[in-house]
Amino acid sequence: MWNTENFQRLIEEPAYRSIIGRTVFMAVLVTVTDAVLAFPFAYFMARVASRRVQTLLFAAVLLPLWASYLARVYAWILILNHNGLLNWSLQSIGLPPAEIGYTNVAMWIVFSYIWLPFMIIPTYAALERVPESLLEAAADLGARRWRAVRDVVLPLALPGVVAGSIFTFSLTLGDYITPILVGGAGSSFIGNVIYSNVGIANNIPFAAALAIVPVAIMAVYLLIAQRLGAFEAL
């Protein structure tokens, strides 16, 4: 027998709506954050740093990928908790403590941290390919530096940023471990619900219905990314 009961349940129950909403919102937020963090860094690597510094920075971005994801998330708990490194530092300079351990803010920081290299690398690659001659031409035509960046560099780097966003977006969308470790009350993700439903024999269809949600979102996202030429910049 076929029906759409499981999909209806997803749409009608507010709890599932809010979990889906939270997951997608976090994925967007992390993607935007990483793009903002990565762009000036990648620009520095590609356009300002000497060749030697460039190599070192590149290695520095790659190296964290070798430190276990789990160990890095765990280190963040040590930073963000009540008596953690962050509050200790804040108090030692006379500021009030930030109670962000085990909240959605903590998840936002940790996700942005974990996926940042995946945004820096393609952005850097795209920026590196912007021909110097284009910037010179812009300067010759009297464009100020910021205008040259806005009108010449940004459009050329956009496919790189979009390529990076595919990773930050999809990796956040599918994660269920970071919410378990650093989230607080009210931080379930789609992945957590899928995971707990797989363990229940007669709820596999519902888990599958849930799994369709991130897949559908990613398919739409990829189609848009392809339009923006991101695949050429992957």
Interface positions, 124-153, toward another protein (CB under 8 A): 124-125, 128, 145-146
**Closest distance of CB 94 from another protein, Å:** 18
154 lies in the site for another protein, by CB under 8 A: no
Identity of the residue, 138 or 214, whose beta carbon is nearer to another protein in the bound complex: 214
191 lies in the site for another protein, by CB under 8 A: yes
**Closest distance of CB 59 from another protein, Å:** 4
Helices (H), 44-83: 51-62, 69-80
Dihedral sign from CA coordinates of 86, 89, 93, 96:
positive
**Closest distance of CB 115 from another protein, Å:** 9
> Interface residues for another protein in 35-64 (CB under 8 A)?
37, 40-41, 43-45, 48-49, 51, 54-64
Q: Which tokens belong to 80?
A: 């963000």
Cβ atoms of residues 97 and 90 within 8 Å: yes
Cβ atoms of residues 123 and 38 within 8 Å: yes
> Interface residues for another protein in 88-127 (CB under 8 A)?
88, 101-102, 113, 116-118, 121-122, 124-125
Contact region with another protein (CB under 8 A), list: 133-141, 150-158, 196-204: 196-204
**Closest distance of CB 40 from another protein, Å:** 5
8 lies in the site for another protein, by CB under 8 A: no
Residues in the chain: 234
Interface with another protein (CB under 8 A), residue total: 115
Residue 220 CB neighbours (<10 A): 9
Which residue matches tokens 């378990």?
180
C-alpha 73/C-alpha 68 separation (Å) is 9
185 lies in the site for another protein, by CB under 8 A: yes
205 lies in the site for another protein, by CB under 8 A: yes
Of 11, 82, 98, 224, the one binding another protein (CB under 8 A) is: 82
Buried-exposed string 43-63: b where 16+ CB fall within 10 A, e elsewhere: bebbbeeeeeebeebeeebee
